[in-house]
Amino acid sequence: MSTSVVKTSSGIWLAQVAVYPLAILACLAFLDWAAKSDFPMEAAQFIAFLTAIFVVMLCEHWMPFSQDWKRRIGSDRKIDILTLFSTMGVVFPALKNVGNLLAVVLVVWLFESPEAILFPTDLFFVTQLFMAAVIAEFGGYCLHRISHHFQVLWRFHLVHHSASRIYWMNAYRSHPINISWHYLASIFVLLLIGVPQEVVLGYSGLAGVVSVFQHANVAFKFGPLNYIFSTNEVHRWHHSTKLSEADNNYGNVLMIWDHVFGTFYLRPNESPASVGLHDTKGVPVHSFLKLMLYPFKR
């Protein structure tokens, strides 16, 4: 992989440093406004997501991290488009509807009340959002980490790692079953403990924005933000073909649990030599349908 030589003009440098924190602040401010107004949080979540895609696409064109990653590899773009639309159009809506219903049933069964609250709801919206993020990230971290160490889980999770370049769209290259159990480990837990719906949607909105930037083929410079958020500088190491590098950085939005459990990994101003699966033998990396069916093959 060859990284691009990005011009070091003051404008480029400022964009490399400022775009991400401004995007996160704008996302939080917009979601906070939506929570306090009558604006539908689902619409706010979608607008934040589309805006992040637009910004990242511009940045990928303007200041790419790798020129190689701008080029299609086989049918990888087709796979990424199909997984993006199936995830957003089918998997996420289904999980939301089924998850909400299942959460109510379980809460009634456990607490004999459909409104059992185990979460402080009288705090500022953004405070609640980050509290929810820490809780959701713990479940997501644990499941993500064991998915790399148990073969039955890895066969589903490897779909995400089958990409041999990283750019915004393959943030959503995932198997529906992999998405589903991550939902159960994170979002569903928030529903069970009574996190308000607008806070859950707010966290999902923030996670969507972070994921787009997390996989961006952009030469951002995050500095200390690398130690807080799952940035693309940090997340690239998780996609390394070298297992000693890839077995780190499991956080989805925040890096808090990687710090707690000692899996945070970053070599500043460096990047992995290559990304993708460490062993592609038998894995149909160039076929969407075969990738979806691969986990069920013996």
The string of DSSP letters for 178-196 reads: HHHHHHHHTHHHHHHTT--
Contacts of 249 (CB under 8 A, 6+ apart): 230, 234, 235, 237, 238, 255, 258, 263, 264, 265, 266
Tally of domains in the chain: 1
Distance of CA 123 to the CA centre of its chain: 26
Q: Is the pLDDT assigned to residue 143 strictly greater than 90?
A: yes
Residue 192 domain-assigned (yes or no): yes
Tell me which of 30-34, 86-90, 221-225 is least confident.
86-90
Q: How far apart are CA 65 and CA 87, in angstroms?
A: 26
Residue 222 domain-assigned (yes or no): yes
pLDDT of residue 114: 46
Residue 1 domain-assigned (yes or no): no
The tens digit of pLDDT for each residue in 191-226 reads 888 888 899 999 999 999 999 999 999 999 999 999
Residue 274 domain-assigned (yes or no): yes
What range does the domain containing 212 cover?
10-296
Residue 4 domain-assigned (yes or no): no
Q: Is the pLDDT assigned to residue 289 strictly greater than 90?
A: yes
Residue 113 domain-assigned (yes or no): yes
Q: How far apart are CA 279 and CA 155, in angstroms?
A: 12
pLDDT of residue 204: 93
Residue 2 domain-assigned (yes or no): no
pLDDT of residue 38: 85
Alpha carbon separation from 279 to 40, 152, 156, 249, 293 (Å, rounded): 45, 16, 15, 20, 18
Eight-class DSSP state of 254: B
Q: How far apart are CA 13 and CA 95, in angstroms?
A: 41
Residue 5 domain-assigned (yes or no): no
